[in-house]
């Protein structure tokens, strides 16, 4: 609700700016042409992942990972970290934060293990692992447009090294800080005898699973992932997948098909934010920001731009931080450095990325208490190290 209210306020402010002439109609039309396909993709992918979760795909996978870990918490942690990474890369960071978090908590509790290292792994990878593909993060889709519609393979070729570094640093940190917890063992539970945790998070309930829906959800995701990196406009396969799953649920479990499947609050917030930030850019805000972000493509210059994006993300939010600094990223390498800052840097404040807020909301629903103070203290260590490592990887491979 709060996100929707903020979005409504932003939309009104943007409308006033357009009416006052602060944002010319030609620039407004160009903005709509740029962001409409992106927002359509976000809606379609949200529906796909929500329905796949309802079908039990995420929980089915996580339970088998728990079983295959042979009672070793370190193996379970590594398996779930890989799951979170793949979920983020191919299904976006919000999917990992919203849908994978309750599954990770449920599976970890059933194994009798401490939740904190697994929960932190999920949210940090939701942010830092979102560098590899355009579909991984909304900022990446915007950057793809700025790069002239570069194909996913070209985007990955630019970002693979910083993406790898950004994913590894948080894992190393957790492996060191929580090494005692990760040495523990747990009793293996046959997958078929696992009981759902009730009733804090409906999305982790396997009794609602239907074998046909489970198979359909898994098949649709398996076919969708290569389609999303094929180079076709991503909203097309995402929309097709959402329609297929909607039809399947209409036949099997029609009560799941609700208007709330569409992320109305996110749409309102993103639309208003795009409008206001475009107005701000038109009024010259990037010129003032350039004093902080600097110029050039040497490693210190890239680090300066990435740091600007990271600080802006933690002060405001990663989306406005990206939009404000985008005009200063004139080359692919500088744009990659900015993405490092706004994707891997928002690990300190709760509002730095929407995914973090959604993650914490899911934890609260499941009675997992993580204080923002503790989260920020960890983030003050992990965020700078992650950004530094990712920029160093970019400089080593991209210059």
Give per-residue pLDDT as tens, 31-48: 888 889 999 999 999 999
188 vs 197, higher pLDDT: 188
Q: What is the DSSP secondary structure assignment for residue 397, as one 8-state letter?
A: H
Q: What is the pTM of this model?
A: 0.88
72, β-bridge pairs: 185
Would 6 be classed as within a structural domain? no
Distance CA 374, CA 298 (A): 35
Average pLDDT over residues 356-382: 92
The pLDDT score that the predictor gives to residue 203 is 43
Q: Which of 2-11, 14-23, 247-256, 269-278 is modeled with the greatest confidence? A: 247-256
Whether residue 4 is contained in a domain is answered as no
Contacts of residue 215, Cβ cutoff 8 Å, sequence gap at least 6: none
Domain membership of residue 252 (yes or no) is yes
Listing DSSP states for 57-71 in one string gives HHHHHHHHHHHHTTT
Cα–Cα nearest to 117, from 350, 385, 378, 372: 378
pLDDT at residue number 192:
52
pLDDT at 198 over 90: no
**Closest to 256 (Cα-Cα) out of 217, 228, 227, 221:** 217
Please write the tens of the pLDDT for every residue from 84-104.
999 999 999 999 998 899 999
| Residue 1 placed within a domain | no
User: What pLDDT sits at residue 197?
Assistant: 44
Quote the pLDDT of residue 207.
42
Nearest CA to 177 out of 117, 106, 254 is that of: 117
Give the sign of the dihedral formed by CA 61, CA 63, CA 66, CA 67.
negative
Domain range spanning residue 292?
A: 11-398
Q: How do residues 286-330 score in pLDDT, each as one tens digit?
A: 666 777 777 888 999 999 999 999 999 999 889 989 988 998 898
> For residue 265, what are the β-bridge partners?
none
Number of domains the chain contains = 1
Query: Can you give the pLDDT at residue 264?
Result: 87
Enter the tokens of residue 317: 């939010």
Distance CA 129, CA 169 (A): 11
Q: Around Cβ 52, how many Cβ atoms within 10 Å? A: 24
Q: CB count, 10 Å around CB of 298?
A: 12
Q: Is the pLDDT of residue 200 over 50?
A: no
Q: Could you tell me if residue 260 is inside a domain? A: yes
Give 276's pLDDT tier (boundaries 50, 70, 90): confident
pLDDT band per the 50, 70, 90 thresholds, residue 7: confident
pLDDT at site 2: 73
pLDDT at 205 over 50: no
Which residue intervals of 116-210 are DSSP H helices? 116-128, 138-146, 152-177
Scanning 21-92, the segments in alpha helix (DSSP H) are 25-55, 57-68, 73-91
Q: What is the pLDDT of residue 1?
A: 64
Q: Which residue, 285, 294, 299, 288, is CA-closest to 333?
A: 299
Q: Is residue 132 within 8 Å of 160, Cβ to Cβ?
A: yes
d(CA 137, CA 129): 9
Is residue 114 assigned to a domain? yes
End-to-end CA distance of the chain, in Å? 44
Structure token pair of residue 276: 């206001």
Question: Dihedral, CA atoms, 396, 77, 98, 130, nearest 10 degrees?
Answer: 10
CB 8 within 8 A of CB 271: no
Mean pLDDT, rounded, for 124-150: 93
Residue 5 falls inside a structural domain:
no
């Amino acid at each position: 609700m709060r996100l929707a209210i903020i979005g409504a306020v932003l939309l009104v402010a943007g409308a006033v700016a357009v009416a006052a002439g602060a944002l010319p109609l030609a620039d407004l039309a160009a903005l709509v042409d740029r962001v409409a396909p992106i927002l359509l993709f976000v809606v379609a992918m949200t529906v796909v992942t929500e329905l796949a979760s309802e079908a039990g795909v995420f929980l089915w996978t996580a339970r088998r990972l728990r079983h295959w870990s042979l009672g070793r918490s370190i193996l379970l942690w590594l398996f779930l970290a890989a799951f979170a990474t793949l979920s983020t890369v191919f299904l976006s960071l919000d999917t990992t934060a919203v849908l994978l978090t309750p599954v990770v908590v449920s599976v970890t509790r059933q194994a009798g293990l401490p939740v904190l290292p697994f929960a932190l792994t999920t949210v940090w990878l939701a942010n830092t692992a979102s560098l590899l593909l355009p579909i991984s993060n909304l900022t990446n889709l915007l950057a793809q447009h700025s790069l002239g519609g570069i194909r996913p393979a070209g985007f990955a070729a630019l970002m693979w090294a910083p993406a790898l570094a950004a994913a590894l640093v948080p894992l190393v940190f957790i492996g060191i800080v929580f090494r005692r917890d990760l040495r523990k063992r747990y009793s293996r539970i046959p997958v078929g005898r696992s009981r759902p945790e009730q009733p804090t998070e409906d999305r982790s309930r396997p009794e609602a699973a239907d074998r046909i829906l489970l198979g359909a959800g898994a098949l649709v995701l398996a076919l969708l992932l290569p389609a999303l990196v094929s180079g076709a406009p991503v909203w097309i396969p995402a929309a097709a997948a959402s329609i297929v799953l909607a039809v399947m649920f209409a036949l099997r479990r029609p009560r799941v098909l609700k208007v709330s499947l569409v992320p109305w609050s996110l749409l309102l917030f993103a639309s208003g934010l795009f409008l206001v930030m475009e107005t701000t850019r038109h009024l010259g805000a990037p010129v003032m920001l350039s004093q902080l972000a600097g110029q050039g493509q040497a490693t210190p210059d890239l680090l300066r731009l990435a740091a600007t994006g990271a600080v802006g993300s933690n002060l405001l939010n990663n989306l406005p931080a990206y939009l404000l600094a985008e005009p200063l990223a004139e080359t692919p390498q500088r744009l990659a450095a900015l993405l490092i800052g706004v994707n891997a840097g928002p690990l300190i404040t709760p509002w730095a990325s929407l995914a973090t807020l959604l993650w914490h909301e899911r934890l609260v629903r499941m009675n997992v208490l993580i204080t923002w103070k503790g989260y920020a203290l960890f983030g003050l260590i992990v965020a700078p190290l992650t950004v530094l490592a990712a920029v160093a990887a970019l400089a080593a491979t991209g210059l």
